[in-house]
Amino acid sequence: MELKGIDKQILQKLKESKLTLENIAVSTSDELIRKIEISKKEAIKVIETAQNELGIQPVTALQFLEAEGKRGKITTSSSEFDGILGGGIWTQELTEVAGGFGSGKTQLCFQLCINVQLPFDEGGLEGNAFFIDTERTFSPKRIVEMATYRGLEVEEILENIYINSALNTHHLFSIVDTLDEIIQKKNIKLLIVDSFASHFRSEYIGKERLVERQQKIMQIAEELISLAVKYDLAVVVTNQIMANVEEFLFGSPEEPALGFAWAHRPQQRIFLRKSRGSSRIARLFDSSRMPEREALFYVTESGLTDAPFSSDFYS
């Protein structure tokens, strides 16, 4: 735990208490005093510092608006899709991309791995990508294809995408635990988990384990959101669902699941579905910023696009 300006002895006590940064940030000073030996003044300082770390200290609406304007967005390569998202995939939040088999979730992830590397004026963040693959569907060949079509330096693009296969949920947690360092060292601006829920679904089977499963999903999602906020990066998780929209990871759109992180920073949720040929429809749910809208885009040889190139028209 890093808490700038807090003295070592207090840090040690916090460490022993096993409280997380989030636990501290949402505590009252009296609660903290009950848990560790610390003065009221120190407790207030610790809580404020934790809130600063997480970016959840109170701000005015004007400051909020200014901060939002400065937040980075990664283009999807479809201006219509970007439009419904308010400019692309935003940093400092977790975006859930849900959809059925072949709806384009992984293709979108590949596209974002390339696009995050683009210059700011081309819709990128001049940063790198970290791809956590739970289904072993990462395809360097497809990245090469997409990057080549756009005239990019293919080798450089590949070198700036870090991939880690997560074998099970335990492994996923342990990968996420090590991300702090690599995010800083390698200028990671996009973190992807494709697919987020698959291991949870296969390991926590049956109705009686549903609550436990949801708790674990929330726990890791909150860790990802902390990283997103702390390092100003975009986090995208995919979620394979049948046509039924209610199967969103974080509760149905009408009834968002509760959680500390969601209370303050609702994540973006996108539902993808197949349409005719190579066309796809993206629908934005549950955004505090944007109305619920749909966009039409295409998955072609070159990656995601607005209007397909002629050769893809009838594919």
Binding site for ligand GTP (CB under 6 A): 99, 101-107, 240, 278, 299-301, 312, 315
Q: Whose Cβ is closer to ligand GTP: residue 101's or residue 314's? A: 101
Is the distance from CB of 98 to CB of 109 less than 8 angstroms?
A: no
Q: In angstroms, rounded to a whole number, what is the distance separating the alpha carbons of residues 264 and 145?
A: 39
Is residue 198 within the footprint of Mg ion (CB under 5 A)?
no
Q: Whose Cβ is closer to ligand GTP: residue 262's or residue 297's? A: 297
CB 291 → Mg ion: shortest distance, Å?
28
> Considering only residues 56-115, where is the footprint of Mg ion by CB under 5 A?
105-106
Is the distance from CB of 297 to CB of 260 less than 8 angstroms?
A: no
CB 53 → ligand GTP: shortest distance, Å?
34
104 binds, among Mg ion, ligand GTP, none (CB under 5 to 8 A by kind): ligand GTP
Q: In angstroms, rounded to a whole number, what is the distance separating the alpha carbons of residues 84 and 62?
A: 23
CB 277 → ligand GTP: shortest distance, Å?
9
180 binds, among ligand GTP, Mg ion, none (CB under 5 to 8 A by kind): none
Q: Whose Cβ is closer to Mg ion: residue 106's or residue 268's? A: 106
DSSP letter assigned to residue 75: -
Is the distance from CB of 191 to CB of 233 less than 8 angstroms?
A: yes
CB 59 → Mg ion: shortest distance, Å?
38
Amino acid at site 31:
E
Is the distance from CB of 54 to CB of 260 less than 8 angstroms?
A: no
Q: In angstroms, rounded to a whole number, what is the distance separating the alpha carbons of residues 109 and 29?
A: 42
Residues that bind Mg ion (CB under 5 A): 105-106
